[in-house]
Amino acid sequence: MDNQQNNGRLIALLPMGVFLVIFLGAGILTGDFYSMPTILAFLIALFVAFLQNRGLDFNKKISVIAKGISDDNIITMCLIFLCAGGFSGVVTATGGAESTVNLGLTFLPTQIIVVGLFIIGCFVSISMGTSMGTIAALAPIAVQVSKKTGFEIAVCIAAVVCGAMFGDNLSMISDTTIAAVKTQGAQMKDKFRQNFLIVLPAAIVTAIIFFLLTRSGAPNMNLDLKFNFWLVLPYILVLVGALIGINVFLVLIGGTVASILAGVLTGSLSFWKCVAAVGTGINGMYDITVISIIVACIVALIKEYGGIDFIINIFKKHIKGNKGAQLGIGFLTLIVDACTANNTVAIIITGPLAKNISNEFGVTAKKSASLLDIFASVGQGLIPYGAQLLSAAALATSLSKVKITPYQIIPNMYYPVLMAISAVLFIVFTKKKKNEMKS
């Protein structure tokens, strides 16, 4: 069994295949992707994973998934979900999100408000170092922008998620950046410069696309645009905290406390109603938190059974030359991310192999680190069962009271696609320098 596992086993990927068939199949057949609860589809996939591999007894499999759940990235992600839910719940209930949007619409032309969401998302995510924190902070604003302007919620939320993905693979304090740099032995500043050159064109084109989509204005702009600065202040504190690099947990908790104080002092809500709003927001994130835990269980078993090894070995056999090595690193990371639904985990898994490939084919550490981070973010920004899109859809649904699915957001996720195109063009048309082996 050890040899099979080292060589990789295609059958180990069966649980993810089962999930996709059940979840996507139900949505396609019924036309409603809520007809099959995501958590149920993942539980069925987990059940399939438990039925596999008779060489391991039940207790051993429990031990495997326990280690998967205890991963620092999984615990951090779940806690961010809960903190994000609390902040979103109270800032919306007190009227902070609406006041923030009204303030923006008072001074910004309607034609650039969605572009503004994207650009603000870029700045917040690169400063905060987390796409999840960025989505939590800006999703309430995106929903209110949609209500005030008439633009589709999916477009406004997509602008925020696109901005969030910009900083997720570029920020110097992002866990994905740290993982990529550490596994490749690169310098942080070198990786940042390399990464920025690749993704900047994608960001510019994304901003242009959002401008063209929304340039005609919106039908609902005759609405009352009154705002209360004190209710906007918690958002300002969150943005400033993100910009100066304060820990995401402190930023979200501080924003929650500031929202409660603003709500009470302005008379918008009583203290206990604010507390209740925090609880409601946290409750709204329970599903995504449990889903993240179940996905971690499935991925742990897939990895134990050799599923990840199978994917890695397939790619390694088909890599030829320096450019082929770069493309191989990129697409290997993309596929592993699709299987793990976690870009940090994907980087950690593929990092050691990427380093070996880079050494063998003369790819610089800064390039391999950039490609790991970029393609992991590309996958994470497009898979419907990834934390970012699931969280964005859950927040949008909770805040707007309208069902929003990841599949409604994905068609507007221009940045991840353009980021992949930009990266491929960079690989194909950039010539290898003589001193690259020393970089």
Q: Which residue has the higher pLDDT, 309 or 5?
A: 309
Average pLDDT over residues 365-378: 90
Average pLDDT over residues 109-113: 75
Rounded to whole angstroms, how far apart are CA atoms 277 and 275? Answer: 5
- In this predicted structure, what is the pLDDT of residue 46? 93
The angle subtended at Cα 36 by Cα 32 and Cα 39, nearest 5°, is: 135
Instruction: Report yes or no: 221 and 392 within 8 Å, Cβ to Cβ.
Output: no
Q: What digits encode the pLDDT tens for the residues 164-205? A: 999 888 876 677 777 788 778 887 778 888 888 899 999 999
Q: How far apart are the first and last CA of the chain?
A: 40
Q: Among all chains, which residue has been given the structure tokens 């994907």? A: 346
Rounded to whole angstroms, how far apart are CA atoms 416 and 419? Answer: 5
- Report residue 3's pLDDT band, with 50, 70 and 90 as the boundaries: very low
Rounded to whole angstroms, how far apart are CA atoms 200 and 325? Answer: 23
Q: What digits encode the pLDDT tens for the residues 230-255? A: 888 887 787 677 657 677 788 888 88
Rounded to whole angstroms, how far apart are CA atoms 395 and 139? Answer: 7
Q: Which residue has the higher pLDDT, 437 or 45?
A: 45
Instruction: Report yes or no: 359 and 322 within 8 Å, Cβ to Cβ.
Output: no
The angle subtended at Cα 345 by Cα 344 and Cα 347, nearest 5°, is: 65
Indicate the average pLDDT of the chain: 81
The angle subtended at Cα 198 by Cα 192 and Cα 199, nearest 5°, is: 85
Burial of residue 162, with CB atoms counted within 10 A of its CB: 0-12 exposed, 13-18 middle, 19 or more buried? buried
- In this predicted structure, what is the pLDDT of residue 290? 84
- Report residue 439's pLDDT band, with 50, 70 and 90 as the boundaries: very low
Rounded to whole angstroms, how far apart are CA atoms 268 and 257? Answer: 15
Rounded to whole angstroms, how far apart are CA atoms 434 and 252? Answer: 47
Rounded to whole angstroms, how far apart are CA atoms 214 and 242? Answer: 28
Provide CB contacts within 8 A for 347, sequence distance 6+. Answer: 176, 179, 180, 183, 333, 372, 373, 376
- In this predicted structure, what is the pLDDT of residue 410? 92
Rounded to whole angstroms, how far apart are CA atoms 117 and 162? Answer: 9
Rounded to whole angstroms, how far apart are CA atoms 394 and 388? Answer: 10
φ, ψ dihedrals at 140, nearest 5°:
-60, -35
Provide CB contacts within 8 A for 422, sequence distance 6+. Answer: 198, 199, 201, 202
Average pLDDT over residues 363-368: 88
Whether the full predicted model's pTM is greater than 0.75, yes or no, is: no
- In this predicted structure, what is the pLDDT of residue 51? 92
Average pLDDT over residues 381-392: 84
Q: Among all chains, which residue has been given the structure tokens 């499999």? A: 61
Q: Distances from the Cα of 291 to the Cαs of 41, 169, 201, 320, 335, in angstroms?
A: 10, 23, 34, 38, 20
Q: What digits encode the pLDDT tens for the residues 327-354? A: 888 988 888 788 777 787 778 777 777 8
Q: What is the CA radius of gyration of the chain?
A: 22
Residue 405 has pLDDT above 60, yes or no: yes
- Report residue 110's pLDDT band, with 50, 70 and 90 as the boundaries: low
Cα 413 to chain centroid distance, Å, stands at 12
- Report residue 217's pLDDT band, with 50, 70 and 90 as the boundaries: low
Instruction: Report yes or no: 378 and 400 within 8 Å, Cβ to Cβ.
Output: no
Rounded to whole angstroms, how far apart are CA atoms 331 and 353? Answer: 13
Assigned token pair, 417: 């696609």
Extended strands (E) in 186-276: none
Give which of 109, 93, 210 is closest to 143, Cα–Cα: 93
Q: Which residue has the higher pLDDT, 423 or 307?
A: 423
What percentage of the chain reaches a pLDDT higher than 90? 18
